[in-house]
């Protein structure tokens, strides 16, 4: 697409626009991917913390029942 515009306009000024669009688009998509991964990773850590707490509670209950 960039080359079609360059040939029709006869200037390379639009090349900077296309490069800026590609860089901005890549940055935007990368930020979206990081946000989604951060959300799921946070949920996974919360789930692991909940499981660890359940295990500790069960162990403390077993110790109390043995005494």
Confidence at 65, pLDDT banded by 50, 70, 90: confident
Residue 4: the pLDDT is 81
Q: How many domains does the chain have?
A: 1
Coil, strand or helix at 67: coil
As a whole number of angstroms, the distance between CA 4 and CA 41 comes to 43
User: pLDDT of 29-51, one tens digit each?
Assistant: 999 999 988 888 888 889 999 99
Residue 49 domain boundaries = 2-66
Q: Which two structure tokens, joined as six digits, stand for 35? A: 């946000």
């Amino acid at each position: 697409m960039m080359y079609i515009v360059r040939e029709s306009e006869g200037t390379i000024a639009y090349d900077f626009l296309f490069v800026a669009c590609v860089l901005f688009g890549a940055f935007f998509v990368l930020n979206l991917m990081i946000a989604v991964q951060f959300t799921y990773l946070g949920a996974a850590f919360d789930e692991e913390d909940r499981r660890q707490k359940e295990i500790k509670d069960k162990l403390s209950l077993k110790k109390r029942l043995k005494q």
